[in-house]
Amino acid sequence: MENRSPNNNLKEVVIKDNFDEKFGLFMRKNSFLETPANLSEKILFSIERERRFNNSLKMALSGIVAVLSFVGLIFVWRSESSLIIHSETVKLLSLLFSDFSVILSYWKEYLLSLAESLPVVSVLAVVFFLWITCTTLWLTVKIYLKSIHQHVFIKHA
């Protein structure tokens, strides 16, 4: 059986009354602790705004890189196209269509000829810029379509 003196009981009541009074006073002074009615909408709006900003930034960056790489592609093509088109490789490749059976007989010499005559660095430069242009263009379109889809989704949610 708990041995509680009357003084202890009195102290507990006083402490409890003081706590209630002070807690009520604290709550009345700090009314910001009450949640506003449209808090969830505000949070979602902030998230959506941040997401749109990030998407716009990504689209802008990939778009700029796509344009620059396209300009580079034009420059490289203008300087290297004659070397590629008039190389021996193109003429050797035409033999595949006209004399395929002969090529099969001398396939080792044919493959070596192709490897020796291929303007590797020129082709590599053109293909590199083409790849960068296509990749960044694809990324830009992908981000744009994704942002449209999300916008429609939220609108109808």
Q: Which residues bind another protein (CB under 8 A)?
A: 76, 79-80, 82-83, 86, 88, 91-92, 94-95, 98-99, 102-103, 106, 109-110, 112-113, 115-117, 119-122, 125
Contact status, residue 117 vs residue 89, Cβ threshold 8 Å: yes
The least distance separating another protein from the CB of residue 61, rounded to whole angstroms, comes to: 27
- Of the pair 43, 115, the CB lying nearest another protein is at 115
- Of the pair 70, 144, the CB lying nearest another protein is at 70
Distances (CA, A) of 30 to 26, 27, 98: 6, 5, 90
- Tell me how many helices (H) and strands (E) the chain has: 6, 0
- Of the pair 13, 90, the CB lying nearest another protein is at 90
The CA distance from 143 to 64, in Å, is: 14
